[in-house]
Amino acid sequence: MSHLRIRDVTEADLPAALAIRRRSFGPLGTGGQAWWDGLAKEVLPDRMLAVVDEADTMLATGRALPFEQAWGGRHLRMGGVAGVYAEPSARGQGVASLLMRGLITRMVELGDVVSCLFPTAPELYRGVGFEVGGVQPRYSYAAHDVRAVRSRSGGLRPRPARPGDAELVHSLLRDHHARHALSGPMLPTVDTCRDYLEDEEQISYVLDAAGGPRGFVSYSLADEVLTVEEIVGESPEATAALWAVVGSGSSAAPTVRGHLDPRDPGRLLLGNVPELDVREHVWMLRVLDLRGAMAARGFSPHVTASAEVVVEDPEVPANSGTWTISVDAGSGRADRVGEPDGTGRAGASPAAYDSDHEPTRLGARGLAGLWCGWSVSRLRLAGLVSGGRPETDRALDAMFAGKPYLTEYF
Ligand SMILES: CC(C)(COP(=O)(O)OP(=O)(O)OC[C@H]1O[C@@H](n2cnc3c(N)ncnc32)[C@H](O)[C@@H]1OP(=O)(O)O)[C@@H](O)C(=O)NCCC(=O)NCCS
């Protein structure tokens, strides 16, 4: 392993990266080359890394896409790890793990505070501090039930969206995340919204009449299925009107499908229960910068709590140490115990210890689980938290309570 090194992927390396991809996932398929070319523009020069041997032959590659993700209604910089693959003849000796360590270090350097990914090999990512954040579920409804909500639309009629609506769509999504203090969903850039609205495969409508509620829906139609990608309404009538425009396709497409928040209000609006055809994509998360992530995340303004924890994070030494994690007036902090701006005490304080003097200890995986709303007692059962006291567990649970979801696949 000592002969291996990590370096940035350049334009000249892309054919070698694509060759490993083909050996990992097969040919690119229709439209794949255009996707690949576009992707390279998004990640070069500093968000795509490779592991190379002494002859500079590429053995593995992966990228960390620059995304924004809502946590408690505020938007955090999230590195979306994707396209991790190793040359088959080089597998089984830690090459992908080495690559992941390089990507984590790079994301920290670039200022990403959390990272997410959709794993095919979870143990690979657990080994470098990622843990399961949640699942991306898929619900199906009978299209005629969706059409029926038109009676609750208050006569609102969405109009077809145009590329010029990109700013509106972006602001609707951003406001929606903030208003409902959502955790998990990604916020596309205005340019991404524009690309989406220019995509002829997507069918998009907006509501923006002066003085009326705003809203947006985007869906696609293929194989007699209407698939909702995004739906945001600012009132019950707007929400119903947007669902109804999708359901209006019921004569040609009997099924409406959505990869939506399991708590999307549509579930309360539609007459029938969804058919839960279980297609769940597990997603994993890692906290890259504990202090930065705590400061950026939104928390309930009604929670005032603090807890001391000892974090052990070999991949990100800056996360390691004894911290006071606290929430007050809707904002969070992580203060290193013993630092001048912290509590001023050296090492773990007595409050971090139970009667047997064992502090609440967690590694990067435990921290990831906590961040995503797993209760501490359950993390404890999975061996991801040790020590501490019941009061500390409750304080941490109160701070991070939530049901994060991720609907965007990358
Ligand atoms: C998954 C992949 C990247 C692993 O590469 P690698 O260099 O062999 O990985 P490492 O040697 O660092 O493996 C670290 C750990 O990951 C897990 N892992 C690796 N390959 C795995 C596989 N095929 N299935 C399940 N777990 C796997 C193991 O826990 C492994 O630890 P172990 O060797 O002690 O059992 C490689 O097999 C590959 O390119 N596969 C095809 C593409 C792919 O699935 N990419 C992942 C996309 S999310």
Match 């592991």 to its residue by tokens. Answer: 51
Rounded distance from Cα 369 to ligand 1 centre (Å): 22
254 CA to centre of ligand 1 in angstroms: 40
Of all protein residues, the one whose alpha carbon is nearest to atom 41 of ligand 1 is 24
- Give CB contacts under 8 A, 24+ apart, made by 267-271: 267/139, 269/149, 269/152, 269/236, 269/239, 269/240, 269/243, 270/141, 270/145, 270/146, 270/149, 270/243, 271/145, 271/148, 271/149
Contacts of 165 (CB under 8 A, 6+ apart): 193, 197, 204, 206, 208, 216
Residue owning the nearest CA to atom 21 of ligand 1: 121
User: What are the pocket residues of ligand 1 if the criterion is a CB atom closer than 6 Å to any ligand atom?
Assistant: 24, 60, 84-86, 91-97, 119-121, 123-124, 127
- 256 and 228 in contact (C-beta within 8 Å)? yes
d(CA 83, CA 187): 21
Residue nearest (by alpha carbon) to ligand 1 atom 15: 124
More confident residue, 139 or 291: 291
* Cα(96) to centroid(ligand 1), Å: 7
User: Looking at ligand 1, which residue's alpha carbon is closest to its atom 33?
Assistant: 92
Mean pLDDT of 121-133: 97
Q: What is the pLDDT of residue 276?
A: 66
Please give the number of the atom of ligand 1 that sits closest to the Cα of 120. Answer: 48
Report, as an integer, the average pLDDT of 263-274. Answer: 83
| pTM, entire model | 0.93
Separation of CA 129 and ligand 1 centre (Å): 15
CATH code for residues 289-400: 3.30.1050.10
Ligand 1 atom index nearest CA of 81: 48
Is the model's pLDDT at 348 over the cut of 70?
no
The confidence score (pLDDT) of residue 246 equals 98
181-207: pLDDT as tens digits: 999 999 999 999 999 999 999 999 999
Residues ≥6 apart with Cβ < 8 Å to 186: 67, 68, 69, 70, 78, 80, 406, 407, 408
The rounded Å distance from CA 85 to ligand 1 centre is 8
Ligand 1 probe mutation, 4, 61, 123, most atoms within 8 A of CB: 123
Residue having the nearest C-alpha atom to atom 16 of ligand 1: 124
Q: For residue 97, report the phi and psi dihedrals to the nearest 5 degrees.
A: -65, -40
Given a cut of 90, whether residue 292 has pLDDT beyond it is yes
Q: What is the Cα–Cα distance from 267 to 25, expressed in whole angstroms?
A: 36
What confidence tens digit (pLDDT) does each residue in 52-89 have? Answer: 999 999 999 999 999 999 999 999 999 999 999 999 99
Looking at CATH, the fold of the domain delimited by 5-112 is given as Aminopeptidase (3.40.630)
Atom of ligand 1 nearest to the CA of 117: 48
Domain ranges (residues) in the chain: 5-112, 139-269, 289-400
Full strand arrangement of the beta sheet holding 361-363: 331-336, 321-328, 305-312, 361-363, 385-386
| Strand ranges in 273-386 using DSSP code E only, listed in sequence order | 281-287, 305-312, 321-328, 331-336, 361-363, 385-386
Q: How far is the CA of 89 from the centre of ligand 1 (A)?
A: 12
Q: Using CA positions, which residue lies closest to atom 27 of ligand 1? A: 121
Bridge partner list, 186: 69
For residue 251, the tally of other CB atoms under 10 A from its CB is: 9
- pLDDT score of 407: 87
- Distance of alpha carbon 31 from its chain centroid, rounded? 26
Which atom of ligand 1 lies closest to the CA of 90? 7
Neighbours of 333 (CB within 10 A): 16
Nearest CA to ligand 1 atom 4: 96
Ligand 1 atom 39 nearest Cα: 85
Tokens, residue 267 = 């579930």
DSSP summary character for residue 113? -
**What is the Å distance from ligand 1's center to 48 Cα?**
18
Centre of ligand 1 from the C-alpha of residue 46, in Å: 24
Per-residue pLDDT, averaged over 8-24, amounts to: 97
Most confident range, picked from 81-90, 139-148, 274-283 = 81-90
pLDDT of residue 340: 54
Strand (E) or helix (H) holding 279: none
Looking at residue 357, its pLDDT comes to 60
> In this model, does residue 343 exceed pLDDT 50?
no
Question: What pLDDT does 273 receive?
Answer: 76
Residue 326 has pLDDT above 90, yes or no: yes
pLDDT at 344 over 50: no
Q: Report the nearest-CA residue for atom 44 of ligand 1.
A: 120
Contact 282, 130 (CB under 8 A): no
pLDDT above 70 coverage of the chain, percent: 94
CATH domain 139-269 topology:
Aminopeptidase (3.40.630)
- Ligand 1 mean position, distance from CA 124 (Å): 6
Question: Where are the alpha helices (H) located in 26-149, listed in sequence order?
Answer: 32-43, 95-110, 122-126, 143-148
Query: Which of 283, 300, 282 has its CA nearest to residue 400?
Result: 300
| Averaged pLDDT score across all residues of the chain | 93
Q: Do domains 5-112 and 139-269 have the same CATH topology?
A: yes
**pLDDT of 135:** 85
